[in-house]
Amino acid sequence: MSTLAEKRVFTEQADTTRVLVASSLGVVGVSVSGDLVGEFGVDHRCTARDVAAGGGALAVATDEDVLVGDFQPTGHGPAVAVSLDRRATDAADSDAADPDATGGATVLAAAPDGTVSRLDAGDDEGSEGGGGTGDDEESEDGDGAADPEWTALGRVDDPRRMDGPLVAAADGVHRVVADRVEYAGLDDARDVAAGGVPLAATGEGLYALGNGWLCERESDGDGDGGFRAVTADAAGERALAATEEAVYERADATAEWVRHDESGVVAVAVAGDL
């Protein structure tokens, strides 16, 4: 039986939302309208661990590689989490990879050993890369430009999920800052949401980053196993979070979290969040 790992909203057309789901069958595309699930099919067959999409960009973590654009290989090797970070690509000196493949976003990925890497534009002068996890062999495309290469930024303990520059790991929340990974607090982080005020789902509760990490909702302690997933729209207004037993919804950044009894949810997404 296939397993679902993660989902992210990719596009919206009229009243239909296109959702991408990472599963053991591959990347599955699902059309959703309101509370109705419509057509679905496998867009790309692989063992997908995570998917990040939005703004014309797509990145997929698989058990063999990180795929971008039209599922192009990047030479990363196995990955457990992936994200799109648009902060770096706003800077004039960005070294981000080919925008035709990444939609202008910087692709970040976490390997099974905890190494967090960034996909950079290749060195067209043939110099060696910055320590990425991919192959060391130099190659060029038909226009003479070097292929993108991975740059290792740091390591975390047991990476679980990524969103933008944030990494959720067994040893807490981490943030990609320039060419390094910095510890940002907490412990046993299961998921993160980078939009607006960052959110983190942990075994102890749901946290928002203010003057330090502030607890928004404590775990119920009645077998819910703690928070396992969280997401927010780009502005950090509407947000969703999930435990084993319930889904929590927030209409905007100032609203209270509302609980809905819904068990078995392993991932959450907000339409138009990317």
Q: What is the pLDDT of residue 223?
A: 55
Look up residue 208 and give its amino acid: A
Task: Give buried/exposed letters for 213-238 (b at 16+ CB in 10 A, else e).
Answer: beebbebbeeeeebbbbbbbbbebbb
Locate 237 and state its tokens. 């207004």
Give the Cα separation of 53 and 13 in Å (integer): 15
HSE-CB of 69 using CA atoms within 13 angstroms: 14
Q: What is the pLDDT of residue 244?
A: 93
Locate 83 and state its tokens. 């994200």
Q: What is the pLDDT of residue 37?
A: 82
Q: What is the pLDDT of residue 18?
A: 84
**What DSSP element (H or E) covers 100?**
helix 99-102
Residue of 157, 68, 186 whose CA lies nearest to 118: 68
Say which DSSP state 96 is in. Answer: B
pLDDT tens digits for the chain (274 residues)? Answer: 444 455 444 444 557 888 899 999 999 999 888 777 888 899 999 999 999 998 889 999 999 999 999 999 999 999 999 999 987 544 434 555 555 555 578 999 999 999 999 999 766 544 344 445 544 444 445 555 567 899 999 999 999 999 999 999 999 999 999 999 999 999 999 999 999 999 999 999 999 999 999 999 998 766 567 999 999 998 889 999 999 999 999 999 889 999 999 999 999 988 754 3
Look up residue 99 and give its amino acid: P
Q: What is the pLDDT of residue 43?
A: 94
Q: Do the beta carbons of residue 182 and residue 171 sit within 8 Å?
A: no
Cα torsion 234, 163, 249, 212 to 10°: value is -100
Locate 53 and state its tokens. 């999409």
Q: What is the pLDDT of residue 103?
A: 59
Record the pTM: 0.82
Q: What's 210-223 look like in SS3? A: ECEEEEEEECCCCC
State the DSSP string of 226-266.
SEEEEEE-TTS-SEEEEESSEEEEESSTTSPPEEEE-----
